[in-house]
Amino acid sequence: MLIERKWKKWLYFYLPMAAFIVFTLFPFYWMAVTAFRPDSELYATWRQPNAAPLWTLQPTLEHFYGLMKTTAFPTWLWNTMAIAIVSTGISLICGTFAGYALARLRFRGSEFLGTAIFITYLVPQTLLFIPLADIVRDLQLGNTPWALMLTYPTFLIPFCTWLLMGYFKTIPKELEECARIDGATRFGAMVRIIFPVAIPGILSAGIFAFTLSWNEFIYALIFMSSADQKTVPVGVVSELIRGDIFFWGQLMMGALLGSVPVALVYSFFVEYYVTGLTGSVKG
Amino acid sequence: MGGGRAGQDLHLSAEQVRVSRLTRLLESEKALAAALLAPGVAILVLFIAYPFVMALWYSLTSIRVGEAGEFVGVANFTKAMNDSIFQQAFRNTVFYTFWATVFKLALGMWLALLLNRHFRLKRIVRASMLLPFIIPTVLSAFAWRWMFDPTFSVMNWGLYHAGMITDRLPFLSSGDWAMWCAVLVNTWRGMPFFAITLLAGLQTISPDLHEAAALDGANAWHRFWHVTWPLLLPVTLVVVVFSVIQTFSDFQLIYVLTGGGPANSTHLIATYAYQIGVGSGLLGEGAALSLFMFPVLFAVVWVQLRFLKRMDNA
């Protein structure tokens, strides 16, 4: 380690670190404070004397009850959860299989397919939403959770495939070969020997995919029309702004409650998430 | 395992025959590969390749909601190019992508260098730094919108009481300010992605290199510029490519923060395509507008692929 003077450490480390922490976390703090602040405090102008906007003097649950009474918030939460879980599951199955095939099996066109899947990885949702809305409608999927459960894998499968392909390549080939010599079929060796070894990689891909589906917005906005089918982000956007009026207390309460599940999942699996994140950009 | 034993049994049930045939078929690498790739490829073809072809077709027709329309050639594209709002949206998208990427890279690199040191609570700090990237963008963008509120902005309150302003700042109500606000929020959201990925790259750099450079008399800046930066360049390039694609095609942040306003000053290609295609129901024109993103995205992906190939060969 290089030796540093104390004031230098403050100037070059603690100070910028503190600034980064405040910059990163303040919006969440502000979201939480607003969610528990009564309307009378909420709508006090910025220059009013005695205003104490950084905390609240009378915390209240009125926005929570308001949200539950006037909207289908628990249903949105449930929809988002179900859609995220199912689309992650589908993507993991497809991605694990495809990743294994591309990493381990020799067949014609494997390089082309690998590149093609990588390219679909980089196709943004905003490029295709207009024709996709028609396809979803033609398949009779409009306004049903399946519209999202089947379209979210379009951006999750490429990522899972790519990540797991890299992971499978790090598993020594000998492991499979031993199992094959002991009489395992190719399929059996894959499922019973390789997949269990790849569980950390699969978990990383799954956590990352889960957060991506929770975050998705434009497909959910376009494919879901009735209030009881919406996901949290769409519900908050479309039901908590009536006309020109923003219900800030309820909006922030909804944002807070919609963030907690995904933050919880993330906090349990931070290391796996980070592996997924850094692996997502590696070749 | 089952295949071998089933073969020795002379009295095979129809079920067993089917199973053993399937097992034998899956012993062929080609057949197994086809079976494993089929589900994923089916979804990608149905929901990416097919809509892409449809988008191309739509963009050449006058289709609108409830009306099949007819072939119009490149009329939608020429109309877009002469549309002053679209021109502005295109410029905005380039501006937004450029500045947000510059800030994300600079701040992300700085944060990664800070996080690469040893300090107490490092794990929890690193974990919380990723929160903006985890929390759904729509929800956090609302928190920012509320912080930018013209009347109740906490930032105006803070700056006023710190004596730095005498009148409130316009934030989202002025065109120039709104664009920079959007860049700020995008930077806030994307910076952790840069920081954590670059941190992973930093951790692969041996501290010996820095010690050696320090012994040779290199100061901190020289050590960064001549040791760290060249070694991080491959990771940096890949992260920048991903970020450019995400930022260039961004929709949700602007949709929530400004809705494209005031006076179209923050419209991006995606938000404008949404307004035309979904808002006005002009599917053909909307599809054409979306496709204007394609050449840029294609160029970026091409660079990425070239680069990956070079790394493979190296």
Smallest Cβ distance to A259: which of B34, B133, B139? B139
Rounded to whole angstroms, how far apart are CA atoms A183 and B3?
A: 9
What is the CATH code of the structural domain delimited by A65-280? Answer: 1.10.3720.10
Kindly provide the ipTM of the predicted complex, given to two decimals. Answer: 0.91
pLDDT of residue A1: 47
Q: Is the confidence at residue B5, as pLDDT, over 50? A: no
Structure tokens at B33: 């590969």
Structure tokens at B34: 């086809």
Residues of chain A found within 8 Å of residue B248, distances taken between Cβ atoms: 124
pLDDT in single tens digits along all 283 residues of chain A: 456 678 888 888 899 999 999 999 999 999 999 999 888 877 776 666 656 667 777 888 999 999 999 889 999 999 999 999 999 999 999 999 999 999 999 888 888 998 898 888 878 889 899 999 999 999 999 889 999 999 999 999 999 999 999 899 999 988 888 888 888 888 888 988 899 999 999 999 999 999 999 999 999 999 998 989 999 999 999 888 877 788 899 999 999 999 999 999 999 999 999 888 887 776 4
**Amino acid type, B59:** S
Locus of tokens 């309820």: A250
Fold of B84-271+289-313: MetI-like fold (1.10.3720)
Q: What angle, rounded to 10 degrees, do the helices at A248-268 and A15-35 form? A: 130
Residues of chain B found within 8 Å of residue A124, distances taken between Cβ atoms: 245-246, 248-249, 270, 293, 297
Rounded to whole angstroms, how far apart are CA atoms B7 and A208?
A: 44
Name the percent of chain B lying above pLDDT 90. 54
Domain boundaries, chain B: 17-59, 84-271+289-313
How close A62 comes to chain B (CA, Å)? Answer: 19
* CA atoms in the 13 A half-sphere facing the CB of A231: 28
Residue pair B232/B45 in contact (Cβ under 8 Å)? The answer is no
- The values of phi and psi at residue A106, to 5°, are -100, 120
Q: Looking at chain B from residue 5 to 64, which residues have their Cβ under 8 Å from any Cβ of chain A?
A: 23, 26-27, 29-30, 32-34, 36-37, 39-41, 43-44, 46-52, 54-55, 58
Positions of CATH 1.10.3720.10 in chain A: 65-280
Q: Residue A48 is inside which H or E element, if any? A: none
pLDDT of residue B161: 79
Q: What is the pLDDT of residues B219-232, one digit of tens each?
A: 888 888 988 898 89
Structure tokens at B23: 């097992």
Rounded to whole angstroms, how far apart are CA atoms B179 and B261?
A: 9
Confidence of residue B311 (pLDDT cuts 50, 70, 90): low
pLDDT of residue B164: 82
Smallest Cβ distance to A187: which of B23, B44, B312? B23
Rounded to whole angstroms, how far apart are CA atoms B261 and B178?
A: 8
Rounded to whole angstroms, how far apart are CA atoms A280 and A278?
A: 5
